[in-house]
Structure formats: structure tokens, C-alpha cells
Amino acid sequence: MILPVTVAGGHDAVVSASIERVAQASIAADASFLSVAQGYVAVLVTAFVVTLLATPLMRRLALANGIIDHPTHDRKVHRRPVAYMGGVAVFLGLMAGIVMSYFAAIGIGFIDFHPSTMREEGILDLAIPMSVILGMFVIMMVGLLDDIIHISPRIKIAGQLVAAAALAVNDVGVRVAAGFLLPVAKYFDVHLAVSPEGVNTIGWFIALPDAVPFVGDGLFFDLIYWTGTAIIAVFVLGACNASNLTDGLDGLLSGVTAIAALGLTIIAVSFAVWDSDPRNAQQIVLGMALMGACLGFLPHNFRPASIFLGDCGSLLLGYSTIVLVLMLGGKHGQTHLVVAGLIIYGIPIIDTVLAIIRRKLTGKKLSDADTDHLHHMLERRFGVRGAVLTLYGFGLVLVVLGVTLARINSAPIVYLATMALTAIVALGALVIARRTWWPRAHTALERGDAPADSPHAPEPTEPHAPGPDPIQPAGPTTRK
């Protein structure tokens, strides 16, 4: 038997909410953006220094063991062997910053956590959840194995799904759909419930005929939780492979991720000032650690790169960024903040969407590599450094847009801006298709040849090579 669960409410709830608002206003009066941010700078510095120092060591280790990308054809931008394993150095930097939060949570360390009435002092609400650390480790190991022994795409996807499932264990991102589903449920007068965590949700209590050990006399089905869990899996798979796709030029992915981390951290700090969520501290720690690790790796990776991220690093940066985006949703599922975070992370997303559209329009497989990604087109016009700096600039524009929308803190405005940006991207894809992709495919068909950028056509002579296309993960890593 399925029974609806009523929403708790009444005079006590109203009084409690009023007291909470007063407490938050008091905290906001004593805190400022700079004072909150300064309390966490030690995380950024630690991640930066550890990554900066660990990268040369990883390079030596990679060269000694033959974990190297060889310039096997003219399309590769580098003309000498370059080491992989840069992702391991980034992982070490991330872990150094995150471990600081654990020591600081018990009073040891240099982090000055901002005041809050919404969290409990201690490990649970201050330190990065263990599920996030587990996910990072799994992603890093899967990528490293692929860099060394070229594991199958299925194993890579399985590893990413394990990392995604780990997030749900600590409820990281599981409320991501609440900001959309709850208003829809209220509009259609769907009976709401209160989850075991004490937040409004859409759920039903399923009564069992007999009591079951460890379960009791019934189960609670939380629609928002399970919808959020499915979204997490999609987000993790998409982000890992989108970042892998973006890692096509020296310094591109590490710089773009650092810029995105900056924007996401600004949002986290801004809402920490107003004490909006128990996990504000965790958001800031992860943002600072991610930014510091990317900046520490960038001096070794900017053109001419002495070491590459490899799948180990590109998958890890994608995973870490999307975890931070999901964490912005917080305990109560502020979906519009997650959407604003996706805008900030827009470069990998836009490039992946354009690749999917392009290959559908030209009748190619999603796994077919080509030389029409954003960085390829910009490189042909501005060179490697010019293309990278141009995308850095575009990333900063997306940061300004995403942060502005988040600070407005209006879900309808965020959604409307997102739809407008989506329409612009779609229009741009159609324009590029008409000018480039369709004529090329039409000419190839008239000659009776395969499309010019298909695997069966002669290799192009552009100075930079397309790498593995993570829209559908392929085995060996190939430097783009």
C-alpha cells in the first residue's frame, strides 16, 4: 500500500523560519565577501604549491616508464615526445587542499571557516565528503590506466558511473531537480512530503505487509532523490568526456577549468556570506583546491608544454568541476544555481554540443574524430596561443554571466538566460554547418569519397591534431 506523506508546517515552522532569517542577517552583517574568501586562501596556496612541485616529479616518472605521447604524425602540435601523468600531479594538489579541510575541521590548520548557523561544527559539514574523494580517486585511476595500458571504453564508463554513484551516498547533488520538480508539483497540486532529512520533496511511503529486517514496515520513495541520482550520472559522464574533448591545445583545459573554478568559487563565497546552506564551506574548499591545482599545473602545461594531463587529468578536472557545480544546489536543491554553474562551465559543454550537432548533420558517428572543434577552428586562425587565450577570454565572459545570474538569485531569470544562450549556440551551429560542414560533406559525396574529416579520408595537414573524442570514450589517448 502506498500512502502520501503530509508536509510538516504550522506556527512553529513559521517562527523557526523567522528566527533563521534573523540569524542569517546577523551573520551577513559581520561577514563580507573578502573576509570569507580570505579564510580559505590557504587551500588555494597549498593545492598550487603541491601541484607545482609534484608535476616535474610526475614528468620524470612518466619519461622513465615510457608513459609518453609520441608525435607520430604531422597533425600533432608538439615535435618531441611529451610525458603524460600530469593528472596525477593535479590529483595530489587537490588532495592536499582537501586534506587541509579535515585537519581544520578538528581545529588543526590554517582554514578560518566562516560563521554559520546552518551547519554543525565538525567533519560532516566542513570537510569535503568522503564520497567526493572516492570519486576523484576512481576517476584518476581509470584515466591513468587508460594512459598506460589503454583500457576499454566500457571500463572507463563503468568507473565514471561508480564515481557518480558515490556522490549519492553523501547526498551530493541529489536535490538538483528540486528547484524544477517542486514548483511543477505545486502547480498540479501534487501531494508533497517531508524527507527523512527534513526537506520538502515528492514522495510516498510504501507499506510492506510484514516488517523486514533493516527496513522496517515500509519504504519511502523519494522522487526528487532518484531523479537527482539519475541526473548526477548524466552530468558526470557528460562533464568527464566534455573536458577530455576540450583538452586539445597546450594549457587549454587547465586554464579553462581554473577560470570556471574561479567563477564557481565566487558564487560559493557570495552565498556563504548570507549563510545560505550547510555545505557552503565544502563548496569553497573544493573551488579553492581545484583552482590552485590548475594554476599550479599551468606553468608546465602552457605552450610549449613539458607534460600533458592525459585522460587521468582531463577526466579528473571534468569530474571535480561538475561536482562543484552540483554542490551549489545545496541541501534544498537550488536548481537555478546549478544551471548558473553550468553556464560558467560552458566552454566544454558548448564544444560537445556543437560536435554532436555537427556529426549528426554530416551523417558521422559520434565517436568519429574531426578537426572542427572550437579550439581547432580558432587555432587555424590565431595559432595555438592565440586560440587558448581567446577561449580564456570567452571563459571569463561566461563567468561574469553565470555569477551575475547567480547573484540575482531568481530562478526564472536564470532559466530564461540559459534558454537564450542555448538558442544562440544552436543558431551558431546552423550557421557554421551551412558554411562549412554541409558543403564539405556535399562535395565529398559528389566525388564519391568519404567526408573530408572522416577516418577514411586522407589525413589533413593542419599543424594541430584531433585527439580522442570523449563523446564516446575511445581506447588509447591521443594528444590533440
Provide the grid cell at 318: 571534468
How many residues appear in the chain?
480
pLDDT score, position 224: 87
Where the chain has pLDDT below 70, the residues are 1-30, 70-79, 119-125, 197, 214-216, 370, 429, 432-480
User: In Å, how far from its chain's centre is CA 99?
Assistant: 20
pLDDT score, position 464: 42
pLDDT score, position 467: 43
* Model confidence, pTM: 0.83
List pLDDT tens digits, range 342-393.
999 999 999 888 888 877 777 777 777 767 778 878 888 888 899 999 999 9
Helix axes 86-105, 280-301, angle to 10 degrees: 150
Q: Is 381 helix (H, G, I), strand (E, B) or coil?
A: helix
List pLDDT tens digits, range 251-306.
999 999 999 999 999 999 999 998 888 889 999 999 999 999 999 999 999 988 88
Domain ranges across the chain: 11-179+223-447
**Alpha-carbon radius of gyration of the chain:** 24
Name residue, grid cell 557518480: 164
pLDDT score, position 480: 45
pLDDT score, position 470: 43
> 150, 113, 125, 90: which is closest to 294 by C-alpha?
90
pLDDT score, position 303: 82
